[in-house]
Structure 1
Amino acid sequence: MIKYSIRGENIEVTEAIRDYVESKLAKVEKYFNPKQDLDARVNLKVYREKTAKVEVTILFDSITLRAEDVSQDMYGSIDLVVDKIERQIRKNKTKIAKKHREKTSAGQVFTTEFEAEPVEETVATKIVRTKNVTLKPMDVEEALLQMDLLGHDFFIYTDAEDNTTNVLYRREDGELGLIEAK
């Protein structure tokens, strides 16, 4: 069963939008065991340029499925995001089952009503480079400066104030994101 959390930014989440999101996301419910609890977080944003961004995150066990889409049409973005989530499920069913076979079998997480897409084992499974870094204590402004000086899209550092490991990164929209380890 899916538990929905639908949130709007610069848009009121009407019953029509809520019903549309829930009916579309119900399509992915068929892939999971009916006993499996799913948490679907949906974030709908409208920007000044009249573009709509839809972000969907589905959480279950220790797995997170996430997709987003930006377009001129909110309903079209919802459709595209659900399609992306479905492709992720079909593509990764075997990998998820293999990774979690000690905890649970694939039959307990997924239904057997669909076939997983064949996955080439060579795709993104080989580590081609290992790099060791020494984390220097700094504040976020210095981390941003270092990231820009290196020309990277992310920078790992130790926060000088609370001594936690953080990751500063540049998002696709050009804004910055910060991942704080707890």
Structure 2
Amino acid sequence: MQITITARNLEITEPLKRYAEEKIARLQKFVNQITSVHIILSVEKHRQIAEVTLHVREHTIRGEESSADLYSAIDLVADKIERQILRYKEKIVDHSGRGLGRSAELAESEEPTPAESESFPEDGPRIVRTKRFAMKPLSPDEAAVHMGLLGHTFFVFRNAQTQEVNVLYRRRDGDYGLIEPAG
């Protein structure tokens, strides 16, 4: 497992680095196919923030927590990732035989396009980031699993039944909504 630690607005001390690596390395007891981990530690005013992005096979699990103390933020995000891994393993057992292995590879790449700066006038909204990712066909249930693992409020995927691009989103009441193209 390759662990990368990035610092924003702070200097990483050796004890802090060791603590973060040990906390994240213990997640291997829950799932041993972790290929890489990216930890981002940052300070914003009075908040200490720890973000973790974990790559397990073709899945991406992400968590972010903040606290007044960076060590407790690392603890909180490690616990959050652990809960997500356990949920992920539960879903795999629930969907066994339905082929969760067909899931989308979230090989995201940020590629600025020349049209970004020309899209809107100077004083209006701007496109500041573009993401591209491979979309393998998923059922809406599988898309919900991926959305939960990523911690996002929406998820774009190709519907395995209709082969159309759909958007799954989390509603304020906690349920999900599905947007499908008409006609």
TM-score range, shorter chain: 0.5 to 0.7
Q: Kindly provide the amino acid, as one letter, of the partner of residue 36 in structure 2.
A: D
In the alignment of these two chains, the number of paired residues is 117
> Are positions 1:40 and 2:37 aligned together?
yes
Give TM-score, length-normalised by structure 1: 0.54
> Are positions 1:179 and 2:130 aligned together?
yes
Q: Which consecutive unaligned segments of at least 5 residues does structure 1 have? A: 105-136, 148-167, 169-176
> Are positions 1:19 and 2:15 aligned together?
no
Query: Once the 2 structures are TM-superposed, how far is the Cα of residue 26 of structure 1 from its aligned partner?
Result: 1.9
Compared with structure 1, are the counterparts of its residues 90 and 181 closer, same or farther at alpha carbon in structure 2 (3 Å cutoff)? Answer: same
Partner of 1:53: 49
Query: Percent identical across equivalent pairs?
Result: 32
In 2, Cα distance between equivalents of 1:180 and 1:78 = 27
* Rg (Cα) greater in structure: 1
Tell me, yes or no, if the aligned pair for 2:31 and 2:85 is still in contact at 8 Å.
no
Moved beyond 2 Å, runs of 4+: 94-104, 137-142, 144-147, 177-182
Compared with structure 1, are the counterparts of its residues 103 and 181 closer, same or farther at alpha carbon in structure 2 (3 Å cutoff)? Answer: closer
Query: Once the 2 structures are TM-superposed, how far is the Cα of residue 146 of structure 1 from its aligned partner?
Result: 7.6
In 1, Cα distance between equivalents of 2:52 and 2:125 = 32
Secondary structure at the aligned position of 1:178 is classed as coil
Tell me, yes or no, if the aligned pair for 2:5 and 2:39 is still in contact at 8 Å.
yes
Secondary structure at the aligned position of 2:7 is classed as strand
Compared with structure 1, are the counterparts of its residues 100 and 21 closer, same or farther at alpha carbon in structure 2 (3 Å cutoff)? Answer: farther
Q: Which consecutive unaligned segments of at least 5 residues does structure 2 have? A: 102-114, 134-183
